[in-house]
Amino acid sequence: MKDPRDILRRPIVSEKSYRSLQLNQYTFEVDPRASKPEISQAVEAVFKVSVEGVSTISVKGKPKQQRARGQGHSRNWKKAIVTLKKGDRIEIFEGG
């Protein structure tokens, strides 16, 4: 297994991700090659919680205008929405 800190890149902080905290769901940017079981094991290892489910979304890069080179695009990345079992929490999202 890969190092869990290589799989989980950063938490996603947005209005939508904070609304999903009420449903016990947490959103992370993850390694694009990571599978759902690897993401689940990484969250359990890093945060010491029990994972109920993982949903993943591959986000395509948006087109961007570059100076003299013309068109480019931002990078592609992968997002994981992790649902925890009832009663578990991740403190970094709760502000504690």
pLDDT digits (tens, 9 = 90+) for 47-70: 999 999 999 999 999 988 877 778
Threshold 0.85, pTM exceeds: yes
Residue among 42, 39, 44 at smallest CA distance from 54 = 39
In order, the DSSP letters of 2-64 are --HHHHEEEE--SHHHHHGGGGTEEEEEE-TT--HHHHHHHHHHHH---EEEEEEEEEPPPEE
Residue 93 has pLDDT above 80, yes or no: no
Any idea where the domains of the chain sit in the sequence? 4-86
pLDDT digits (tens, 9 = 90+) for 3-54: 998 999 999 999 999 999 999 999 999 999 999 999 999 999 999 999 999 9
Please state which CATH number belongs to domain 4-86: 3.30.70.330
Residue 96 has pLDDT above 60, yes or no: no
Per-residue pLDDT band at 1 (split at 50, 70, 90): low
Lowest mean pLDDT, pick from 38-42, 77-81, 89-93: 89-93
